[in-house]
Amino acid sequence: MPALTVSRWSRVIVLFMAVSLVGAVVCLQFGSERIPLTEVTRILLDGGKGDAGESASGVNRSVIVLEVRLPRILLAFLVGASLAAVGVALQALLRNPLADPFILGVSSGAALGAILALQIGVGWAVAGFSPVQVFAFLGAGVTIITIYRVAVKNGQVPVHTLLLAGVIINAIFSALILFITSLADSTSAFRMFFWLMGNLTTLGYAGIGALAVSVAVGVGLLCGQARSLNVLALGEETARGLGLDVERVKRMIFFTSALVTGAVVAVSGLIGFVGMVIPHMLRMTLGADHRLLLPGAALVGGVSLMAADTAARSLLAPAELPVGVITALCGGPFFIYLLVRNRGAQIL
Amino acid sequence: MGPCYRLTDVSFRYIRDWVLRDFSLEVTAGEVLGLIGPNGAGKSSLLKLMAGFLRPDQGRVILHGEDLVTLPPRKVARQVAVVPQESHVQFPFTVTELVLMGRFSHQEGWGWDSPEDLHIARSAMQAMDILPVANRTFQELSGGERQRTMIARALAQQPGILLLDEPTAFLDINHQLEIYAILRDLNGNRGVTVVLVSHDLNLAGQYCDRLVLLREGRVFRVGPPDQVLTAEHIREVYGCDVLIDRHPEAGTPRITLPTPVHRNSRQPILFPSSLCPRSGVSPGEGGSR
């Protein structure tokens, strides 16, 4: 692969953006009832003011598209984009291709927070976020600080300590989650189980707006470090030799990734696979340069989760599958196919 | 020319045992300096201290009059380039991408590689004879190509000082010669100071202006190859006898290992009988009894 040029970068990013946009419109068709593509487009274009007609269940179709499906699709996109981008960044930071957003233990902190909220039955909500989501984010925050305090030594954060701290925190919190689940009555135990599997329940537009801003800032910060990540991925000594302020960049990547993960897990639970497979997939097709890889993975991650969630909603409608089941069932075999296929052939 | 590096009473240890102890050395700008010594003498650690990868526990490493500890990495990288002993690249970066990363300290912010960056990277790849593999990933390269890629990246940094840890360890003789020719050229025509660690005493003696012979974390001898590479010094530091004559062309010391002499001609000393394979018994069967 010749060096990354502006034209190749724009070509790939524009293509992925177009795919995201078309993907979103296509996904809006599906749900418990199919709404034709032409009508979806019309509703989107006139903002629901036109006469959309009623669905079989007697609900206005523009309400279904704009109030039910669109927020959910936006949520799926944001969550998928964040998980994939954080996955790319953490794989580079930890120099471990098996890393994913959940490896640092932040996600289990968030899960513990959510489970606690479900068990205690907290009543209040903040700015469009449910108490479960608020507690989950608080749990993530406490965990981030804990892990950092454990791993930091003389102002340095050795990545293997970070990794080990993450794994241990994961184990401790998983035990606590199991403990709380065992105390819970069957109804709330089921809700806890459902939350842990990962799901994209509807979040209001206010919540989505807040999430979109934090995700944009977080992923933007990560993309801004793309060149540093390239160098960091070669190892810390090499990176330092090439002129990188290694500890500063490591801290920044850790806190940004952890906060984005915390925010995303708080609203969606543990949706696996996107954060590990998408980075791999994109690295195989686009190469390892993070300037292209990071934004590319974010867009593809967003589209993929959007598609997976649409499938989860409509395959057994009106029942809903946990979206994590879909991501694993589709992503796994596809990933194996990529592994088996002639490696290193870069397509775009 | 003045000193570009000044190390004063540097002591360093990883955990408990001192790797370098009260180590002092001056590197003159414009020289080719070779660091030699047995395994574990502290050569690589010394190079890493000079690169700023390690911090001395005592003493100071001064680069052009400034303490290395206080200098920002970017500023160091514009003056000093490092070629590590071994490189692992986890991700599928191509040769071009890796060499372009040598430009990191010269680039600002996110930006694209400038035409100048591309030109410099290309010349570095040309000098290292890796243009034919420019679009391969690091994993697809032979050991020699990998090493030359790392040297090309260091050249792309356009450093005034080049630190190399065993630059020719994985190379065939032709490429060994080429590397030393390029180092000599950089040194002679562009005034680049070269500090290299080498186990090849002959090449070190032939191409270096001065040699530092290390023993157990201290300077044992420092000076021109003629004075450092003597049979007595080598016996004292490495603990083995060698034959020394002259290089037929360069006139520098040439070291040859003598034929091993066995104390008892019937019983080779290298392997005790318990380590020798028994006749008629395959290794697999031997272990299962």
The DSSP line for A200-223 is -----HHHHHHHHHHHHHHHHHHH
Question: Domain range spanning residue B134?
Answer: 94-154
What are the tens digits of pLDDT across the range B138-172? 988 988 889 899 999 999 999 999 999 998 887 88
Question: Which residues of B sit within 8 Å Cβ distance of A?
Answer: 48, 51-53, 72-78, 80-82, 84, 87-94, 96-98, 100-102, 104-105, 107, 109-113, 118, 121, 134-135, 137, 140, 153, 157
Average of per-residue pLDDT across B36-63: 92
Q: Is B73 within a domain?
A: yes
Tell which residue, A25, A13, A61, A82, has the closest CA to residue A307: A25
Neighbours of B259 (CB within 10 A): 6
Considering only CB atoms, A230 lies closest to which of B96, B101, B121, namely B101
Q: Which residues pair with B23 in a beta bridge?
A: B10
Looking at residue B138, the DSSP 8-state letter turns out to be G
Report residues of chain A scoring pLDDT below 50.
Answer: 1, 344-348
Give contacts of A246 with chain B, Cβ < 8 Å: 73
Strands, sheet with B18-28, edge to edge from the N-terminal-most edge strand: B18-28, B3-13, B58-63, B66-67
Q: Is B268 within a domain?
A: no
From residue B73, give the alpha-carbon distance in Å to each of B105, B142, B154.
8, 30, 15
Instruction: Identify whether residues B71 and B177 lie together within a single domain.
Output: yes
CATH of domain A26-73+82-269: 1.10.3470.10
Q: What's the pLDDT score for residue B284? A: 47
Cross-chain residue pair A244–B91, CB shorter than 8 Å: no
Instruction: Identify whether residues B147 and B164 lie together within a single domain.
Output: no
User: Chain A: residue nearest B159 by CA?
Assistant: A242
Q: Is B287 within a domain?
A: no
Cross-chain residue pair B92–A284, CB shorter than 8 Å: yes
Q: Which residues pair with B32 in a beta bridge?
A: B194
Q: Are B235 and B258 in contact (CB under 8 A)?
A: no
Instruction: Identify whether residues B73 and B112 lie together within a single domain.
Output: no
Instruction: Identify whether residues B165 and B63 lie together within a single domain.
Output: yes
What are the tens digits of pLDDT across the range A151-186? 888 778 888 888 888 889 999 999 999 999 888 888
Q: What is the ipTM of this complex?
A: 0.85
Structurally, how many domains does chain B consist of? 2
Q: What's the pLDDT score for residue A347? A: 44
Q: Is B289 within a domain?
A: no
Q: Is B286 within a domain?
A: no
Cross-chain residue pair B90–A284, CB shorter than 8 Å: no
Helix (H) or strand (E) holding A236, with range, is: helix A236-241
Non-local (6+) Cβ contacts of A286 within 8 A are A12, A292, A293, A296, A346, A348
Please report, for the domain that includes residue B67, its CATH number. 3.40.50.300
Question: Per the structure block, which two tokens stand in for B268?
Answer: 């080779």
Q: Are A162 and A104 in contact (CB under 8 A)?
A: yes
Instruction: Identify whether residues B171 and B74 lie together within a single domain.
Output: yes
User: Chain A: residue nearest B82 by CA?
Assistant: A241
Instruction: Identify whether residues B173 and B215 lie together within a single domain.
Output: yes
Give contacts of A6 with chain B, Cβ < 8 Å: 112
Q: What's the pLDDT score for residue A346? A: 46
Cross-chain residue pair B135–A1, CB shorter than 8 Å: yes
Rounded distance, CA A192 to CA A182, Å? 11
Rounded distance, CA B31 to CA B225, Å? 13
Phi and psi torsions of A153, nearest 5°: -150, 120
Give contacts of A3 with chain B, Cβ < 8 Å: 96-97, 100, 113, 118, 121
Cross-chain residue pair A3–B96, CB shorter than 8 Å: yes
Whether A235 contacts chain B with CB within 8 A: yes
Q: Which long-range contacts (CB under 8 A, 24 or more apart) does A92-96 make?
A: A92/A229, A92/A230, A92/A232, A92/A233, A92/A253, A92/A290, A92/B91, A93/A159, A93/A229, A93/A232, A93/A250, A93/A253, A93/A254, A93/A257, A94/A159, A94/A162, A94/A163, A95/A159, A95/A233, A95/A235, A95/B90, A96/A163, A96/B90
Helix (H) or strand (E) holding A346, with range, is: none
Angle, alpha carbons B120-B126-B130 (nearest 5°): 115
Rounded distance, CA A8 to CA B155, Å? 27
Average of per-residue pLDDT across B47-71: 92
Q: What's the pLDDT score for residue A327? A: 86
Nearest-10 Cα torsion for A47, A51, A54, A58: 80
B289 confidence band (pLDDT: 50, 70, 90): very low
Q: What's the pLDDT score for residue A292? A: 94
Burial of B191 (0-12, 13-18, 19+ CB in 10 A): exposed
Instruction: Identify whether residues B117 and B222 lie together within a single domain.
Output: no
Q: What's the pLDDT score for residue B122? A: 94
Average of per-residue pLDDT across B174-197: 90
Average of per-residue pLDDT across B203-210: 92
From residue A275, give the alpha-carbon distance in Å to each of A80, A98, A280, A331.
8, 10, 9, 11
Instruction: Identify whether residues B110 and B179 lie together within a single domain.
Output: no
Helices (H), chain B: 43-51, 73-77, 95-100, 115-127, 143-156, 173-190, 201-207, 225-228, 231-238, 283-287
Whether A58 contacts chain B with CB within 8 A: no
Q: Is B177 within a domain?
A: yes
Instruction: Identify whether residues B136 and B120 lie together within a single domain.
Output: yes
User: Chain A: residue nearest B81 by CA?
Assistant: A241
Whether A339 contacts chain B with CB within 8 A: no
Rounded distance, CA A298 to CA A79, Å? 9
What are the tens digits of pLDDT across the range B72-115? 999 999 999 999 888 888 888 999 999 999 999 998 867 788 88
What are the tens digits of pLDDT across the range B218-270? 999 999 999 999 999 999 999 888 888 888 888 888 998 888 765 555 555 56
Instruction: Identify whether residues B176 and B196 lie together within a single domain.
Output: yes
Radius of gyration of chain B (CA): 22
Instruction: Identify whether residues B75 and B188 lie together within a single domain.
Output: yes
Instruction: Identify whether residues B163 and B150 lie together within a single domain.
Output: no
Question: What is the pTM for the complete model shown?
Answer: 0.87
Cross-chain residue pair B110–A227, CB shorter than 8 Å: yes
Question: Per the structure block, which two tokens stand in for B123?
Answer: 């010349």
